Amino acid sequence: METSVKNLSIEKVKTSRLSEIDFDNLSFGSVFADHMLICEYVDGAWQSPKIVPYQPLSLEPSAKVFHYGQAIFEGMKAYKDSEGGVWLFRPQENQKRLNISAKRLAMPELPEEVFMDGLRTLLQLDEKWIPQAAGSSLYVRPFMFASGTGFHASPADSYTFIIACAPSGAYFSGKVSVLIEEKYSRAANGGVGYAKAGGNYAGQFYPTQLAVDKGYQQVIWTDDVSHEYIEEAGAMNVFVRIGDTLITSPVSDRILDGVTRKSILTLAEDLGIPTEVRKISVHELVEAAKEGSLKELFGAGTAAVISPIASFGYKGKDYELPELEDSYAHKLKKMITDIQYNRAEDKFGWRYSVL
């Protein structure tokens, strides 16, 4: 096992838990692979990363992660092809985005090689945890949080970075119906919406629960002022097809710059699909639904891949999307997963070989 991170130490599990896992019935992110990578930031410097058995962490009750929300994360997947080859999809994008999030939350940036080499070494070690079944993958969760202590509301002086992995099945089960939000919001102008900051997710749970109680699976967030423009979904960017044009909102300081979103845009352009990156009003969506030009609505993200949306609710009315034979969602999902699972040519150089 080669690694270029100096001093990356490896302590292997005595007994693997692999045989305890039912790989035919994987839910999303609820069982964890044998090992994790851990790297501590103390006294102004990142210490040597270690790979150790996945195990509980010991933290002071005054660790700032419990009080002031200094917590960021990333989400990726490791894919196994039919030959047993292991691949990541554009992992450098996640590495860069982690540091964008870190900066916004006044946390230290992580050196690229700790992320990339640590990730590769960890996946090589836990290679057997990567499921091969269609639609399954090893969900990879890099995250960083404030381990430094104190009740003063100011940045911590020490941090912990971890990569943990979970063999996972599909994120959504069944058809997805969404509610367009009219009251609550996810992000402020000038806020942290573009960062993968823990607090962005906690704030979504209650409004999402209200939507679930009404029979929807997800909320589509709108701007926090007029609630007239659609922004993104809980853990997905949103695409709309009106006529033959594929439209998605521009990213901003309120919207996460999704890796799936930008890959979809590139693939669509490559297919010759007309694309537009511009604001989408709820009014436009409703009008298009009424006159029949609204053909598709789908979410795009690492966890959910491409999730076609079957219907959306707005101001007490539900609007059904047609079921298309040859949908963009279907076509684009096939293209992107074929690249991810090494079943197609990698024209854009997105695949990253792990093993």
In the complex, minimum distance from the CB of residue 145 to a copy of itself, in angstroms, rounded to a whole number: 5
Residue in the block written with tokens 């509610």: 179
Q: Which of residues 222-241 bind ligand PLP (CB under 6 A)?
A: 232, 235-237
161 near a copy of itself, rule: CB under 8 A: no
Stated as kind and residue range, the H or E segment containing 42 is strand 35-42
135 phi/psi in degrees, rounded to 5 = 85, -5
257 near a copy of itself, rule: CB under 8 A: no
Pairing mode, strands 294-301 and 305-314? antiparallel
259 touches which of ligand PLP, a copy of itself, none (CB within 5 to 8 A by kind)?
Answer: ligand PLP
Burial class (CB in 10 A: 0-12, 13-18, 19+), 326: exposed
256 near ligand PLP, rule: CB under 6 A: yes
- Among residues 125 and 303, whose Cβ is nearest to a copy of itself? 303
- Among residues 111 and 203, whose Cβ is nearest to a copy of itself? 203
| Residue selected from 4, 189, 290, 338 as contacting a copy of itself according to rule CB under 8 A | 189
Pair 205, 211: CB distance under 8 Å: no
DSSP 3-state assignment of 177? strand
Other beta carbons less than 10 A from residue 148's beta carbon: 20
349 near a copy of itself, rule: CB under 8 A: no
- Among residues 51 and 256, whose Cβ is nearest to ligand PLP? 256
140 near ligand PLP, rule: CB under 6 A: no
258 touches which of ligand PLP, a copy of itself, none (CB within 5 to 8 A by kind)?
Answer: ligand PLP
338 phi/psi in degrees, rounded to 5 = -60, -40
The rounded distance, in Å, linking the Cα atoms of 142 and 190 is: 25
Other beta carbons less than 10 A from residue 242's beta carbon: 20
151 near a copy of itself, rule: CB under 8 A: yes
The rounded distance, in Å, linking the Cα atoms of 281 and 310 is: 19
229 near a copy of itself, rule: CB under 8 A: no
211 near a copy of itself, rule: CB under 8 A: no
- Among residues 57 and 271, whose Cβ is nearest to a copy of itself? 57
Other beta carbons less than 10 A from residue 167's beta carbon: 27
Give residues with Cβ within 8 angstroms of 241, minimum separation 6: 247, 294, 295, 296, 297, 328
In the complex, minimum distance from the CB of residue 150 to a copy of itself, in angstroms, rounded to a whole number: 5
Q: Which of residues 71-90 bind ligand PLP (CB under 6 A)?
A: 75
Please choose, out of 92-100, 182-190, 261-269, 286-294, the segment that lies near a copy of itself by the rule CB under 8 A: 182-190
In the complex, minimum distance from the CB of residue 31 to ligand PLP, in angstroms, rounded to a whole number: 20
| Residue selected from 13, 17, 23, 75 as contacting a copy of itself according to rule CB under 8 A | 75
In the complex, minimum distance from the CB of residue 72 to a copy of itself, in angstroms, rounded to a whole number: 9
| Residue selected from 224, 257, 276, 346 as contacting a copy of itself according to rule CB under 8 A | 224
Write the secondary structure of 185-218 as one string of H (helix), E (strand) and C (coil). CCCCCCCCCCCCEHHHHHHHHHHHHHHHHCCCCE
119 near a copy of itself, rule: CB under 8 A: no
- Among residues 42 and 348, whose Cβ is nearest to ligand PLP? 348
The rounded distance, in Å, linking the Cα atoms of 222 and 187 is: 9
Please choose, out of 208-216, 257-265, 308-316, 344-352, the segment that lies near ligand PLP by the rule CB under 6 A: 257-265
Question: If we measure between CA atoms, which residue out of 119, 110, 97 comes closest to residue 37?
Answer: 119
The rounded distance, in Å, linking the Cα atoms of 212 and 207 is: 9
State the residues that interact with ligand PLP by CB under 6 A. Answer: 75, 196, 232, 235-237, 256, 258-261, 301-302
